[in-house]
Amino acid sequence: MVDATRRVMTVCEDGRSREVLSVRLGREGIDKTREGDQRTPTGRYPLGAPVASRDFGTFVPIRYPTVAQVRAGYTGSAVGVHGPARRVRWLGRLVNVFDTTDGCVGLATDEETTAVATWVRLHPGATIVIR
């Protein structure tokens, strides 16, 4: 669950908080409706299988837009949960001081991203709620 106001992601399992992580969001905030608007979508979305990323270390796809959103005219692609950009990962947690993604949910460190990716692999069908 991502609380966009507090800029935190809570990883939940069996209705309990397992871990709380700082996140950065889209440069233009939330409520994505179109490709390139640099906003992070809000809603509930399935998570895809984590993949290696040249730019971010690991990328966990967020299945945005939903079928209903496509019918409503929403567009967009390549939205996911990912680690810091390779060129700034040396900043550690400081990368999350500002919202710098193109619409994704950014984690501060590779270790956090690896932990989330491992959790997603162990929980097929996992979803993310962004609000």
- Segment 78-106, tens digit of pLDDT: 999 999 999 998 998 999 999 999 999 99
74: left (phi over 0), alpha (psi -120 to 50) or beta: beta
Name the burial class of residue 115, with classes exposed (0-12), middle (13-18) and buried (19+) by CB atoms within 10 angstroms of its CB.
middle
CA distance 122 to 60: 13
At residue 4, the pLDDT reads 98
At residue 14, the pLDDT reads 86
Q: Which residues of the chain fall below pLDDT 50?
A: none
120: left (phi over 0), alpha (psi -120 to 50) or beta: alpha
Which pTM does this prediction carry?
A: 0.95
At residue 13, the pLDDT reads 87
At residue 92, the pLDDT reads 87
CB 31 within 8 A of CB 46: no
At residue 36, the pLDDT reads 97
Q: Annotate 92-106 with b (16+ C-beta within 10 A) or e (fewer).
A: eeebbeebbbbbbbb
